[in-house]
Amino acid sequence: MSTSQDILSNPSARSVRADDAVTPVLEVTDLRVAFEGDARTVTAVDGVSFTVRKGRTLAIVGESGSGKSVTSLAVMRLLPEHSARISGKVNFDGRQLLDETKSAMRSLRGNRLAMIFQEPMTSLNPSYTVGEQINEVILRHRPISKKEATERAIAMLRLVRIPSPETRYHQYPHNLSGGMRQRVMIAMALACDPELLIADEPTTALDVTIQAQVLELMRELQQKTGTAIVLITHDLGVVAEACDDVIVMYAGQVVEQCSVEQLFTFPEHPYTIGLLGSLPRLDEKRESLVAITGAVPDMANPPKGCRFQARCPFRIDKCAEMPDLMEVSPGHFSRCWRAPMEDLVP
């Protein structure tokens, strides 16, 4: 039976070279996604650009509804075609994904491109066992026998720390706990050593100890295979521990972009400041948490100017105009007229 060691030393795994860290695996340029409704058009993603390099992890954080999932679904070409209008460029290893045929996308997905979805129950089929579903993915992309696929599927389940994987293999999704289902999704996504993995809130249902193990596992696999990872999460602890770079989204736009170290040392956008300030902390107990008051703007009819202005305590008259994403210090970008924030706290 194969062990986690076998998986990690899989001969098809690519090794990481020194110059890999600069090779972009995914380059998204000026991505826009609009949903056409009966009476209204919602612009969910509005001019988003970012790059993910080989062996690196990019975090996407941001307000609920800011377009994180839609961005990743657009990259994977999984948005409903009848209602979503997509423009911009998505370059994956030299291929323009927005121009690829449907069948080309189908053979990329699950193989070189993998995605872990936000809600595991909606992407697992309730009428097949979890083992059958992982096997199906492996057999679709790998020329191996059914028996070998089964062995690999069980090894993957063991790798994501599911106890008694041989028994769990034969169970249906509803027989598993929420966190186990999430790990089944992770096992499925990693089964074919993808070059790019987009993980949408992959650990929200996991408790801290398993979360730490799963994140470490993703890191380990990444070091072996050089997989580039996009990790969508609202858990800032996960960003701090598992990611290298980060983009912060607000109302369909990137409002801050920097390294993880920079983000937690000194954020440069008011939304991020509010976000970090509203974290429940273990070393103090407050009556109520600092919340960013107000709600996100209606994306069918966004305000002119800065999209955070109605909720921003640092707002000035100039904010009625839309700021660009500007470099505040080397490698640290912010879409705010008042950056650098240093000037606000003398």
Partner 1 sequence: MIKPVSSSPPGTPIIEVRGLGKKFVVKRTVFGRPLAQVGAVDDVTFSLMPGETLAVVGESGCGKSTLGRMLIRLIKPSAGEVFIDGHNVTNVSHAVMREQRRHVQLIFQDPYASLNPRMTIAQTIAEPLMLHNIVPAGQRAKRVAELLEMVGLRPEQANRYPHEFSGGQRQRVVIARALASEPKAIICDEAVSALDVSIQAQVLNLLKDLQKRLGLAFVFISHDLGVVKHIADRVAVMYLGKVVEIGTAEMTFSTPRHPYTRALLSAIPVAAPPSQHRSRAARLHGDLPSPIAPPQGCRLHTRCPHARPECQTVSMALDIEPNGHANACAFWRELPAQDADHVREPRNPKLEKLFAAFEAMAARPALTVSES
Ligand X SMILES: Nc1ncnc2c1ncn2[C@@H]1O[C@H](COP(=O)(O)OP(=O)(O)OP(=O)(O)O)[C@@H](O)[C@H]1O
User: Within 16-35, which residues bind ligand X (CB under 6 A)?
Assistant: 35
Query: How many residues lie near ligand SF4 (CB under 6 A)?
Result: 12
- Determine the Cα–Cα distance for residues 36 and 102; give it in Å rounded to an integer: 22
Binding flags for partner 1, 176-215, as an x/- string (CB under 8 A) = xxxxx--x-----------------x--xxxxxxxxx---
51 binding partner (options partner 1, ligand X, ligand SF4, none; Cβ < 5 to 8 Å by kind): none
337 binds ligand SF4 (CB under 6 A): yes
Residues 52-91 that bind partner 1 (CB under 8 A): 61-65, 68-70
Element (H, E) at 326: strand 326-329
Nearer to ligand X among residue 261 and residue 298 (C-beta): 298
Instruction: Select from 169, 267, 328, 333 the one that contacts partner 1 (CB under 8 A).
Output: 267
64 binds ligand X (CB under 6 A): yes
Residues 294-313 that bind ligand SF4 (CB under 6 A): 306, 308-309, 312
Long-range contacts of 2-9 (CB under 8 A, 24+ apart): 2/151, 2/152, 2/155, 3/155, 3/158, 4/155, 4/158, 4/159, 6/155, 7/152, 7/155, 7/156, 7/159, 8/220, 8/221, 8/224, 9/224
Nearer to ligand X among residue 153 and residue 192 (C-beta): 153
- Determine the Cα–Cα distance for residues 277 and 290; give it in Å rounded to an integer: 6
4 binding partner (options partner 1, ligand X, Mg ion, none; Cβ < 5 to 8 Å by kind): none
Which region, left, alpha or beta, applies to residue 222 given φ > 0 means left and ψ of -120 to 50 means alpha?
A: alpha
Instruction: Select from 54, 56, 68, 109 the one that contacts ligand X (CB under 6 A).
Output: 68
Angle CA 339–341–346, to nearest 5: 140
Instruction: Select from 42, 155, 196, 275 the one that contacts ligand X (CB under 6 A).
Output: 42
Contacts of 53 (CB under 8 A, 6+ apart): 20, 21, 22, 23, 24, 25, 228
Query: Residue ranges of the alpha helices (H) in 176-228?
Result: 178-190, 208-225
22 binds partner 1 (CB under 8 A): no
Relative to beta strand 245-250, strand 57-62 is parallel
Nearer to ligand SF4 among residue 170 and residue 318 (C-beta): 318
* CB of 161 closer than 8 Å to CB of 210: yes
Nearer to ligand SF4 among residue 25 and residue 325 (C-beta): 325
331 binds partner 1 (CB under 8 A): no
90 binds ligand SF4 (CB under 6 A): no
Which residue carries 């990790």 as its tokens?
231
Residues 284-343 that bind ligand X (CB under 6 A): 299
110 binds ligand SF4 (CB under 6 A): no
Distance of CA 9 to the CA centre of its chain: 26
Which residue carries 């089929």 as its tokens?
125
Which residue carries 């979805």 as its tokens?
117
Contacts of 170 (CB under 8 A, 6+ apart): 129, 131
338 binding partner (options ligand SF4, Mg ion, partner 1, none; Cβ < 5 to 8 Å by kind): ligand SF4
Nearer to partner 1 among residue 72 and residue 150 (C-beta): 72
109 binds ligand X (CB under 6 A): no
Using the contact rule CB under 8 A, the part of the chain among 20-28, 134-142, 143-151, 156-164 near partner 1 is 156-164
Nearer to partner 1 among residue 102 and residue 286 (C-beta): 286
Judged by the rule CB under 6 A, the positions of this chain that interact with ligand X are 35, 42, 44, 62, 64-70, 80, 83, 118, 174-180, 205, 207, 234, 299
Judged by the rule CB under 6 A, the positions of this chain that interact with ligand SF4 are 270, 306, 308-309, 312, 314-315, 319, 323, 336-338
